Chain A
């Protein structure tokens, strides 16, 4: 027994030693506590793994935040099909929430680990492409059909190299309850004044119904408010990167937006986009701003609303010449430059992002996931499902409005005067401003939750935006504003 114990102990010892000590030293205690080892660990971690031969059994990781069970279901179906044709290739699906995506991929990439194929956050695209973390995807892009197939601005390109390919975008609109509007003798709103009047008329706390749900949590405000700002003929920056959010008109937009929240359900200040759906689905909000996913939830969660709900364009306009702009951003996939099997990864990516695979994938949340290529869009037009047949008008709405999408972090200065002219260049310092819990989101939290008056909150936000930009410009003295 004692011998067995000794053996076991030796085994554990050897295992841990072999694994953790780079040199053959028995002096564990000493090694472990010296600073050099700590440094060594950090240093060696950043070494790039060398690409292996692309034959034999290979495992690729595929990181996605599209973790809705039905989406994962279709994804594994597609993976099975690929595996059938390529029996040596295994795909390991990794899921994460949008909130953890940043930390996970950042840690992996910083460690020099193989992050595999992953969904990339728009605000990180530039940094990572410049840092050399991303594999160029020009050949995949060309193979799928290049500029003939892809909607302009849907893929991520830096200096003529494509680094990320899109699979879908969502398009925001205003969902409203036809029955409630009819009862109140109202027409669906087409501008801000009508909207405000309707929201007021439909709010009835004694019945538990509120006019419009405005999401105010730290991971939602910026996306929703930006659409409002744009329709007021304003943007955060000029195309050259000069701050325009400090103009008094911006404060006016904030005040008008906040005025809407008087008719929002209790707790709206903590609503993320999920709650936005719930408020509408449970019948507690007469209007709700959201994309196609809200409709897709109806057959399961609120079948009684299916013929009582409809969607119109966001009615934020306050002037006759307000441009029509809505929110939307392309969800894109990139491949880690450190990946062990770049060719296999590209091949798989091409498989997923083309043909009926992409159509089936985008159809899991049909209408919410508007496809980036012309051929897939065609396939989805006559998609064979009850929902697609019943609500072809909604699906048409999303397709038509995809051309009016804009994104604060990816499109800098798309609104000049009252013209919408989409610019495919995001403010490079935009991360802390437009990301979740960024400066804009916190500004609204200060107003809704902290009780700060809009003017003070806006001034604070403007000051912070200036700091962030100055700091970034100081660190990047060579930066030149883009030319168009």
Chain B
């Protein structure tokens, strides 16, 4: 560290202390930064939770206290009692799961085909998916309404699922295509020499290899579908068939909030499944993104 020292041993000692100090300081700073980052990400959510267990009378008090004086789960009870929250949750779960599974299945097949065979039409399709992928959903919503009307699928969960699949597929294909490209061709060639057909090779050899990528794609598709608001709010209108985001939006209007406490409870309940789902599958996620997904 310091160049002009007279005694080499002393300087070595000194610099060791100095080095340790710097090292410790650096570590402490890193820990502080890490805690700050975590707080930055979670504080608003903690506030949502705190607000959700605060009784209405305290929420609307002149001097609101930071922590609720009489914490209660009353808001949650109200949420499930007077709205169709449970039903919306079920609808969202069905829709998101169906969309995710179908998108993974179809995009895995398409991505595999596109990564293994070079035909002109695939190139055309590849470019088309890119286009579809970039399309702002707001462009699609009015024409989609009329297409679904024509198919007798307005106000139907099947219709909404089809729309979700159609608009999520490009992302799925885009993510998985490069993933499949990363899997060496020799693997299936070897399997096919042993007499299996190409399709068998695909689902027995290649799919297991691509599992992390498919799970990452699945998490992604599931979470964006679970969160989706625009399509759900316009293509579905029955209170019994709507999804969480669109359902909750009916009592979060521009003019009027029924009760902040109940809304906050709804916020917690919408986010929770996603957070749990994610905690459960987290290790696949990072591996999947890293292992080639989303590259070029």
Do A and B come into direct contact in the complex, CB within 8 Å?
yes
Do A70 and B82 touch across chains, with their CB atoms under 8 A apart? Answer: yes
Encode contact with A along B61-101: 1 for CB under 8 Å, 0 otherwise: 11000000000000000100111000000000000000000
Residues of A within 8 A of B142 (CB): 107
Interchain nearest-CB distance for B141 vs A (Å): 10
Check if A92 sits within 8 Å of B256, measured CB to CB: no
Whether B255 lies near A41 (C-beta < 8 A) is: no
CA separation between A368 and B257, bound complex, in Å? 16
Stretch among A238-246, A295-303, A354-362, A398-406 lining the B interface: A295-303
The docked-state distance in angstroms from the alpha carbon of A8 to that of B96 is 21
- Judging by beta carbons under 8 Å apart, are A92 and B257 in contact? no
By a CB distance below 8 angstroms, the chain B residues around A272 are: 254-256
Partner of A283, one of B62, B234, B240: B62
Is B60 touching A281 in the complex (CB atoms < 8 A)? yes
Name the residue on B nearest A40 (C-beta). B150
Interface size class of B (residues with CB under 8 A): 35 or more
Given A41-B146, A69-B78: A98 and B253 interface contact (C-beta under 8 Å): yes
Evaluate whether A1 and B82 lie within 8 angstroms (CB atoms) in the complex, with A19-B151, A69-B258 already known. Answer: no
Q: Which of A67, A93, A283 has the most CB of B within 10 A?
A: A67
A residues in contact with B255, CB < 8 Å: 97-99, 219-220, 272-274
Question: Is B249 part of the binding interface, using a Cβ–Cβ cutoff of 8 Å?
Answer: yes
By a CB distance below 8 angstroms, the chain A residues around B203 are: 1
* C-alpha gap A278/B256 in the complex (Å): 10
Whether B150 pairs with A41 at a CB distance below 8 angstroms is: yes
Question: Is B61's CB under 8 angstroms from A95's CB?
Answer: no
B251 touches A45 (CB 8 A): no
Alpha-carbon gap, A372 to B60, bound state (A)? 33
The answer to whether A61 and B238 touch across the interface, beta carbons within 8 angstroms, is yes
Cα A272 to Cα B253 in complex, Å, equals 10
Partner of A284, one of B62, B150, B152: B62
Instruction: Give residues of chain B (145-159) contacting chain A, Cβ–Cβ below 8 Å.
Output: 145-147, 149-154
Residues of B near A113 (CB, < 8 A) are 149, 154
Q: Which residue of B lies closest to A272 (CB)?
A: B255
Asked if residues B61 and A69 are in contact (CB atoms below 8 Å), the reply is no
Q: Which residues on A sit within 8 Å (CB–CB) of B62?
A: 208, 282-284
User: Are A94 and B238 CB-contacts (below 8 A) given A2-B199, A69-B82?
Assistant: yes
A70: nearest chain-B partner, CB-CB: B82
Nearest residue (CB) in A for B233 is A100
Contacts of A302 in B (CB 8 A): 57, 60-61
**Is there contact, CB below 8 Å, between B60 and A92?**
no
**Once the chains bind, are B251 and A93 in contact (CB under 8 Å)?**
no
Assess the A282–B60 pair: CB atoms within 8 A. yes
B20 to chain A, nearest CB (A): 52
A-chain residues with CB within 8 Å of residue B259 when the two chains form the complex: 300-301
Which parts of B186-207 form the interface with A (CB within 8 Å)? 197, 199-200, 203
Are B82 and A72 in touch, CB under 8 angstroms?
Answer: yes
Residue of A41, A94, A98, A281 contacting most chain B CB atoms (<10 Å): A94
Q: Which residues of B contact A277 (CB under 8 A)?
A: 256
Compute how far the CA of A176 lies from the CA of B149 in the bound complex, rounded to whole angstroms.
Answer: 51
Q: Nearest chain-B residue to A218 (Cβ)?
A: B254
Q: Would B150 and A44 count as touching, CB distance under 8 A?
A: yes
Known: A2-B197, A69-B82, A111-B145. A94 touches B239 (CB 8 A): yes
CB of B83 within 8 A of CB of A69, answer yes
Instruction: Give A35-75 as 1s and 0s: 1 = Cβ < 8 Å from B's Cβ atoms.
Output: 00000011011000000000000000101000111101100
A300–B237 alpha-carbon span in the complex (Å) = 30
- For A70, A220, A300, A303, the residue with the greatest tally of chain B CB atoms inside 10 Å of its CB is A300
Encode B253-282 as 1/0 by CB contact (under 8 A) with A: 111111100100000000000000000000
Bound Cα distance from A63 to B236, whole angstroms: 12
Interface membership of chain A positions 71-96, coded 1 if the CB is closer than 8 angstroms to chain B and 0 otherwise: 01100000000000000000011111
| Known interface pairs A2-B197, A99-B253, A274-B256; A73-B82 also in contact (CB < 8 Å) | yes
Within the complex, what minimum Cβ distance (angstroms) separates B296 from chain A? Answer: 27
A92 to chain B, nearest CB (A): 5
Task: Indicate whether A474 reaches chain B with its CB closer than 8 angstroms.
Answer: no
Question: Contact between A1 and B200 (Cβ–Cβ < 8 Å)?
Answer: yes
The reply to whether B199 and A5 contact each other, CB–CB distance below 8 Å, is yes
Q: Do the beta carbons of A45 and B254 come within 8 Å of each other? A: no
Is B249's CB under 8 angstroms from A93's CB?
A: no
**Which chain B residues border A92 with CB–CB below 8 Å?**
238-240
| A104 and B237 alpha carbons, distance in the complex (Å) | 8
B59 within 8 A of A: yes
- Is A259 on the interface with B (CB-CB < 8 A)? no
Cβ-based interface call for B228 (8 A): no
Taking CB atoms and an 8 Å cut-off, the chain B residues in 13-35 that contact chain A are none
How far does the Cβ of A267 sit from chain B's closest Cβ, in whole Å? 14
On chain A, the residues within 8 Å of B152 by CB distance are 19
Q: Contact at B199–A1, with CB atoms within 8 Å?
A: yes
Chain A residues closer than 8 Å to B61, beta-carbon distance: 282-283, 302
What's the nearest-Cβ distance from chain B to residue A397, in Å? 22
- When the two chains form their complex, are residues B154 and A20 in contact, meaning their CB atoms are under 8 A apart? no
Complex CA gap A98/B145 in Å reads: 20
Residue of A42, A95, A283, A284 near B239 (CB, 8 A) is A95
Q: From residue A73, how far is it (CB to closest CB) to chain B in Å?
A: 5
- With a cutoff of 8 Å between Cβ atoms, the chain A residues found around residue B200 in the complex are 1
A residues 264-284 near B (Cβ < 8 Å) are 272-274, 277-278, 281-284
How many angstroms between the C-alpha atoms of A95 and B239 in the bound complex?
Answer: 6
Check B145–A93 contact: CB distance below 8 A.
no
Q: Which residues of the partner chain B approach A5 to less than 8 Å between Cβ atoms?
A: 199
Q: Which among A69, A99, A278, A302 has the highest number of chain B CB atoms within 10 Å?
A: A69
Chain A residues with CB under 8 Å of B78's CB are 69
With CB as the reference atom, state the residue of chain B lying closest to A2. Answer: B199
B222 → chain A closest CB, angstroms: 21
Q: What residues of B have a CB within 8 angstroms of the CB of A93 in the complex?
A: 238-240
Kindly report which residue of chain B lies nearest to residue A283, judged by CB atoms. B62
Interface string of A1-27 (1 = CB under 8 A from B): 110010000000000000110000000
A303–B59 alpha-carbon span in the complex (Å): 12
Answer whether residue B42 sits at the interface, using C-beta atoms and an 8 A cutoff.
no
Given contacts A45-B150, A72-B83, 13 further A-B contacts (CB under 8 A): A19-B150, A20-B150, A41-B150, A67-B258, A68-B258, A69-B258, A94-B237, A107-B234, A113-B154, A277-B256, A282-B61, A301-B60, A303-B57
Residues on B lying within 8 angstroms of A by beta carbon are 56-57, 59-62, 78, 81-83, 142, 145-147, 149-154, 197, 199-200, 203, 233-234, 237-240, 249-251, 253-259, 262
Q: List 12 A-B contacts (CB under 8 A).
A: A2-B197, A67-B251, A69-B258, A72-B239, A92-B239, A94-B237, A96-B250, A99-B254, A273-B255, A282-B61, A301-B56, A302-B61
